[in-house]
């Protein structure tokens, strides 16, 4: 295995690929290190990155007492995500979001064996990040912001619009990830910046409709810590449907020859 692999190479479902390795590595002399780097390190990176991203995101919502509206949370979420992707992306792919992991898996950019562990550590990271945000916040500010849990949807009349908003915004986010960081033909070194900007744009555009979650881990962590579960399912159904739509677009229409299933 090469010393440094791109995200598209490291998380490839094609386990039959012939990987050239020195004879001593084939003999298993470096097997524990390879297992650690391939399976343990990525999960640790996803845990740490999710915790830091969600800590910053939750804190920006809780501490948003200056009347900045959606601007402060939008910038905080977007910048934090861009940073953790840039810093940890070469280890894990920089998902920090179950919807992203599902979409990347479906287009062939993540091994099946890592999908469930990724989602579990992302949820755990969400709880850690939300817990840290609660620790540094005053009780009054924390209570006023419902612990940064998503509380925009107040009644059933808002459910449809919030769900559609989450689907479309997550489609935009996962498309930026899949096309900017995974699809070989369109991948770019600017992917962390573009993905962070996508989150910022989504929050500015749809924050008043659904809260602009796009990330079940971002919803789950504060919900657990603050014990606030009203309409929580929206922040799973919407993002996961958005991820499925992105995977469909990439697999059927937008992907390169290796990724597309039609007209290869």
**CATH number, position 79:** 1.20.1080.10
> What pLDDT does 64 receive?
86
Residue 12: both structure tokens together = 């490839």
Asked whether residue 16 is domain-assigned, the answer is no
Asked whether residue 4 is domain-assigned, the answer is no
**Alpha-carbon span 250 to 262, nearest angstrom:** 11
Asked whether residue 29 is domain-assigned, the answer is no
Cβ–Cβ under 8 Å, residues 64 and 183: no
Asked whether residue 174 is domain-assigned, the answer is yes
Q: How many domains does the chain have?
A: 1
Q: Taken in order 47, 50, 53, 59, is the CA torsion positive or negative?
A: negative
Q: Which domain holds residue 111?
A: 37-254
Per-residue pLDDT tens listing for the chain (264 residues): 333 444 444 334 343 344 444 544 455 557 889 999 999 999 999 999 999 999 999 999 999 866 678 899 999 999 999 999 999 999 999 999 999 999 999 999 999 999 999 999 999 999 999 999 999 999 999 999 999 999 999 999 999 999 999 999 999 999 999 999 999 999 999 999 999 999 999 999 999 999 999 999 999 999 999 999 999 999 999 999 999 999 999 999 999 988 888 877
User: Is the pTM above the cut of 0.85?
Assistant: yes
**Alpha-carbon span 255 to 264, nearest angstrom:** 10
Residue 212: both structure tokens together = 């602009």
């Amino acid at each position: 295995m090469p010393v440094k692999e791109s995200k598209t190479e490291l998380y490839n479902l094609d386990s039959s690929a012939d990987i050239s390795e020195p004879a001593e590595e084939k003999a298993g002399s470096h097997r524990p290190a390879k297992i650690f780097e391939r399976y343990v390190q990525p999960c640790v990176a996803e845990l740490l990155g999710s915790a830091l991203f969600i800590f910053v995101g939750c804190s920006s919502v809780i501490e948003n007492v200056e009347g900045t509206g959606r601007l402060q949370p939008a910038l905080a979420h977007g910048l934090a995500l861009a940073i953790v992707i840039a810093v940890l992306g070469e280890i894990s792919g920089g998902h920090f979001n179950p919807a992203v992991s599902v979409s990347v898996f479906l287009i062939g950019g993540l091994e099946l064996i890592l999908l469930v562990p990724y989602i579990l550590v992302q949820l755990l990271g969400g709880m850690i990040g939300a817990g840290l945000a609660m620790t540094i916040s005053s009780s009054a500010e924390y209570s006023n912001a419902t612990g940064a849990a998503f509380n925009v949807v107040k009644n059933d009349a808002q459910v449809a619009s919030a769900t559609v908003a989450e689907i479309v915004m997550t489609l935009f986010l996962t498309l930026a990830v899949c096309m900017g960081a995974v699809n070989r033909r369109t991948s770019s070194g600017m992917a962390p910046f573009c993905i962070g900007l996508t989150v910022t744009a989504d929050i500015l555009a749809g924050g008043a409709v659904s809260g602009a979650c796009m990330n079940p881990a971002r919803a789950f962590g504060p919900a657990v810590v603050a014990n606030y579960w009203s309409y929580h399912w929206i922040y799973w159904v919407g993002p996961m449907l958005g991820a499925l739509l992105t995977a469909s677009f990439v697999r059927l229409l937008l992907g390169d020859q290796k990724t597309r299933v039609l007209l290869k």
